[in-house]
């Protein structure tokens, strides 16, 4: 007889043999024993967790010759034929290969007929999410009100792709991913049944590589038995999976944390000679960083850890939580980018170099990620109405604290002691553009009339008449009330009796508002230059593709 794969040879034949799906088994057993049997079941979960297996066991339970039961006998004709895949009343459909509506209609043509041998006619539709919309529509009516002798068992890895109209007509059972211990214990049990020689470390490596899927674990176990000539040993499994010794992973991280470039280069050369799976190496490095972080933050170790506590404690002394979090992100991103690199070796080495290039927590330009945002803001953001140097004084640790203010605003240039009070008066001849800043400060106005004064320019001041031009950018503020208040304030400020005339729609260059706007623009350009020349910012740009972004015009507010 030809060899049968372990995944088929040891497929569970009843609910008690299922691994890690007790919540599903218990619900189905109770429903069968109490004769509360729904007409449609939906089994969901990732690949290899037992969706189709549960559906076949349920088909046995419904058609077992001993009666509907939560514990099918497994030896009667119906149970045997279902196990062998030749039971005429169990119609198994692969939705991926029968997506068309005509296929679905053909499938449902025989629903009305009674089962040939069994108690129920059962339709087991695998990967049901592959059905087209038309196929789902053809299935809906039958799925909602099938004949009493028909049961539908649906299985899918992507329940979100199913129409809600289908989901609402089914009892849904979500099968869980299996944990490392469940897979490892089951594989060890099967190896004992096979009388195969194995060691626990090898089985754990296979269970970890299975990534929650029992079927993947069994397939890898099959492969390792073939690779090791009937034995499952750690050295063979590592070679088969392309897994590196944990010492290599720890050694790489130690070299990075110690900033030992020579040792790191030597280790990379040794790894290259071994022709490993570079993506798998980064996978193992991510595991190590995860375990360090658990100990660091939660003082908790992983069950069945690949790394002993002494190793983790040694690494903990060299690092801090922020650094490990950053390293983890770099490694995870590196696993994605390794597929885009010219070759996997280049992608791997660039990820390791990136880890080496940045170390949080040291003096100088190597800053804590937690402080990056506040530091850059402190470098570039002056307080409201203040200067850039005032902002720098708020944070003495900023790498660019030597940045100095470019210019003060126009209002700051006016000495407050020299500014006239509201009682001070001017002659009409003194109301000139040279004095307009001081006059503006003395005007007892606010709101829109104040805006008009900020955008005003003296056109003439002769013969008892003062003519002011208002810049066209302030046209929206030329209301009757605002003009009246400005004129009245000027008339009260001048000794002589005068009339004030305002002209709008003029494009002016030397108003208070325009002067301040020019200074703000100059400040922004100067600040940009100083930020770009700052060593901390340059470090972030070179190592992390950081970008300086101006996000608030008028306050020189920049961030990385």
CATH code for position 230: 1.10.8.60
Pick 306 or 389 by higher pLDDT.
306
CB 110 within 8 A of CB 123: no
Q: Is 472 inside a domain boundary? A: yes
The count of structural domains within the chain is 4
What pLDDT does residue 360 have? 64
Distance of alpha carbon 232 from alpha carbon 241, whole angstroms: 12
Strand 465-471, strand 499-506: pairing: parallel
pLDDT of residue 383: 40
Q: Could you tell me if residue 403 is inside a domain?
A: no
The confidence band for 44, taking pLDDT boundaries of 50, 70 and 90, is very high
CB-based contact 220:210 (threshold 8 Å):
yes
Is pLDDT larger for residue 554 or for residue 225?
225
Per DSSP, the three-state class of 270 is helix
Do 347 and 454 share a structural domain? Answer: no
Residue 40 pLDDT: 93
Give me the domain span that covers residue 281. Answer: 246-357
Structure confidence at residue 464 (pLDDT): 85
Residue 265, pLDDT above cutoff 50: yes
pLDDT band at residue 510 using 50, 70 and 90 as cut-offs: confident
Q: Using a pLDDT cut of 90, give the percent of the chain over it.
A: 28
pLDDT number for residue 243:
66
H runs (alpha helix) in 228-368: 234-241, 246-258, 261-273, 278-293, 309-316, 321-337, 344-357
Instruction: Tell me what pLDDT residue 551 has.
Output: 57
Nearest Cα neighbor of 542 from 334, 327, 366, 305 is: 366
Same domain, 229 and 252: no
What is the CATH classification number for the domain harbouring 107?
Answer: 3.40.50.300
Q: Does pLDDT of 368 surpass 60?
A: no
| Same-domain status, 163 and 218 | no
The first and second tokens of residue 253, run together, are 């991280």
Closest CA relative to residue 55, chosen from 9, 4, 120, 108: 120
Residue 50 lies in a domain: yes
Residue 395: inside a domain: no
> Of 470, 461, 469, 471, nearest to 499 (Cα)?
461
CATH number, domain of 260, equals 1.20.272.10
Same domain, 228 and 336: no
Domain end marker among 174, 189, 219: 174
Handedness of CA 476, 481, 484, 486 (dihedral sign): negative
Q: What percentage of the chain reaches a pLDDT higher than 70?
A: 85
- In this structure, the answer to whether residues 65 and 197 fall within a common structural domain is no
**What pLDDT, on a 0 to 100 scale, did the predictor assign at position 401?**
39
Task: Check pLDDT > 80 for residue 411.
Answer: no
Please tell me whether residues 145 and 14 are part of one structural domain. yes
The strand pairing partners of 124, in sequence order, are 92, 153
Residues 92 and 170 placed together within one structural domain of the fold: yes
Predicted local distance difference test score (pLDDT) of residue 63? 93
Last residue of a domain, one of 214, 241, 268: 241
Q: Identify which of 58-62, 267-271, 393-397, 534-538 has the greatest average pLDDT.
A: 58-62
Question: Which pLDDT score is estimated for 362?
Answer: 45
Same-domain check for residues 32 and 126? yes
- Average pLDDT of the residues of the chain: 81
Q: Are residues 265 and 235 in the same domain?
A: no
Residue 416 has pLDDT above 60, yes or no: no
Domain boundary among 136, 159, 174: 174
Mean pLDDT within 101-115: 85
User: Is 22 strand, coil or helix?
Assistant: helix
Q: Is residue 556 part of a domain?
A: no
Q: Please tell me whether residues 230 and 268 are part of one structural domain.
A: no
For the whole prediction, is pTM greater than 0.75?
no
Query: Average pLDDT of 466-478?
Result: 84
Residue 1, domain member (yes or no): no
pLDDT beyond 80 at 445: yes
Rg of the chain in Å (alpha carbons)? 39
pLDDT tens-digit series, residues 281-294: 898 899 899 989 98
- Considering the domain architecture, whether residues 188 and 325 belong to the same structural domain is answered as no
Ranked by mean pLDDT, the top range of 257-271, 347-361, 424-438 is: 257-271
Q: What is the pLDDT of residue 426?
A: 82
Task: State residue 502's pLDDT score.
Answer: 86
Average pLDDT for residues 231-255, to the nearest whole number?
83
Residues 286, 327 share a domain: yes
Q: How far apart are CA 83 and CA 470, in angstroms?
A: 93
CA distance 133 to 88: 28
CA atoms within 13 A on the CB side of 376: 27
Using DSSP's 3-state secondary structure scheme, residue 342 falls into coil
362 within a domain of the structure (yes/no):
no
Question: What integer pLDDT is reported at residue 218 of this predicted model?
Answer: 93
Instruction: Report if residue 541 sits inside a domain.
Output: no
């Amino acid at each position: 007889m030809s060899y049968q794969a372990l995944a088929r040879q040891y497929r569970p034949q009843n609910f008690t043999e299922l691994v890690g799906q007790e919540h599903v088994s218990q619900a189905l057993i109770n429903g069968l024993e109490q004769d509360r049997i729904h007409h449609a079941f939906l089994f969901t979960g990732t690949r290899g967790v037992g969706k189709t297996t549960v559906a076949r066991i349920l088909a046995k339970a419904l058609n077992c010759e001993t009666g509907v039961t939560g514990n099918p006998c497994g030896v009667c004709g119906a149970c045997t034929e279902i196990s062998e895949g030749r039971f005429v009343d169990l119609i198994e459909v692969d939705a991926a290969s029968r997506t068309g509506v005509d296929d679905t209609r053909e499938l449902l043509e025989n629903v009305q007929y009674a089962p040939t041998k069994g108690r129920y006619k059962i339709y087991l539709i695998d990967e049901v999410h592959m059905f087209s919309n038309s196929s789902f529509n053809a299935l809906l009516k039958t799925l909602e009100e099938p004949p009493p002798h028909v049961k539908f068992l649906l299985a899918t890895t992507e329940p979100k792709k199913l129409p809600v109209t289908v989901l609402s007509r089914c009892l849904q059972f979500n099968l869980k991913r299996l944990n490392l211990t469940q897979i490892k214990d089951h594989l060890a049990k099967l190896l004992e049944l096979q009388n195969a020689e194995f060691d626990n470390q090898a089985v754990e490596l296979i269970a970890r590589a299975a990534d929650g899927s029992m079927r993947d674990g069994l397939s890898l176990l099959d492969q390792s038995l073939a690779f090791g000539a009937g034995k499952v040993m750690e050295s063979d499994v590592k070679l088969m999976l392309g897994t590196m010794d944990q010492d290599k992973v720890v050694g790489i991280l130690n070299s990075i944390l110690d900033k030992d470039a020579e040792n790191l280069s030597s280790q990379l050369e040794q790894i290259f000679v071994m022709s490993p799976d570079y993506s798998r190496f980064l996978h193992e490095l991510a595991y190590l960083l995860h375990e360090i972080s658990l100990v660091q933050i939660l003082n908790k170790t992983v069950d069945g850890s690949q790394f002993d506590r002494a190793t983790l404690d040694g690494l903990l002394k060299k690092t801090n939580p922020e650094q490990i979090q950053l390293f983890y992100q770099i490694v995870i991103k590196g696993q994605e980018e390794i597929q885009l690199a010219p070759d996997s070796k280049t992608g791997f080495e660039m990820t390791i170099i990136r880890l080496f290039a940045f170390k949080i927590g040291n003096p100088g330009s190597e800053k804590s990620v937690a402080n990056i945002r506040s530091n850059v803001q402190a470098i570039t953001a002056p307080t409201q109405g203040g200067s850039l140097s005032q902002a720098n004084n708020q944070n003495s640790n900023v790498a660019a604290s030597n940045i100095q203010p470019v210019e003060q605003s126009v209002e700051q240039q006016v000495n407050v002691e020299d500014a006239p009070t509201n009682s001070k008066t001017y002659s009409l001849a003194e109301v000139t553009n040279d004095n307009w800043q001081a006059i503006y400060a003395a005007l007892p106005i606010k709101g829109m009339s104040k805006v008009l004064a900020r955008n005003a320019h003296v056109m003439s001041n002769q013969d008892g008449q003062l003519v002011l031009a208002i810049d066209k950018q302030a046209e929206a503020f030329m209301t009757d009330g605002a003009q009246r208040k400005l004129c009245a304030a000027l008339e009260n400020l001048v000794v002589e009796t005068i009339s004030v005339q305002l002209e709008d729609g003029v494009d002016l260059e030397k108003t208070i508002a325009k002067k301040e706007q020019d200074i703000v623009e100059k400040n922004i350009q100067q600040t940009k230059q100083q930020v770009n020349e700052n060593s901390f910012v340059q470090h972030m740009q070179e190592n992390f593709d950081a970008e300086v972004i101006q996000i608030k015009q008028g306050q020189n507010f920049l961030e990385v």
